[in-house]
């Protein structure tokens, strides 16, 4: 039951946040997007390694 509540809250937040973002005039340049994109895969790999270590040492 808690999972459904969490999913409902997430979808509600998306329906509220996405129109607000679309109305704002915030634009990201291609340079900024490429700088951000360069960090995504290393951060994902680091988080996966941390999760693996946490699962191994938890027991």
Q: Where are the domains of the chain?
A: 2-58
User: CA-to-CA distance for 31 and 49, rounded, in angstroms?
Assistant: 29
Q: Where are the alpha helices (DSSP H) in the chain?
A: 2-23, 30-58
- pLDDT of res. 59: 64
| pLDDT tens digits along 1-45 | 899 999 999 999 999 998 888 888 778 889 988 988 999 999 999
**φ, ψ (nearest 5 deg) of residue 26:** -75, 115
**Which position has the token pair 């951060």?**
43
């Amino acid at each position: 039951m808690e999972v459904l509540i969490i999913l409902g809250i997430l979808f509600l937040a998306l329906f509220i946040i996405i129109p607000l973002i679309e109305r704002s005039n915030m634009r990201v340049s291609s340079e900024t997007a490429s700088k951000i994109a360069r960090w995504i895969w290393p951060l994902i790999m680091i988080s996966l390694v941390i999760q693996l270590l946490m699962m191994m040492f938890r027991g």
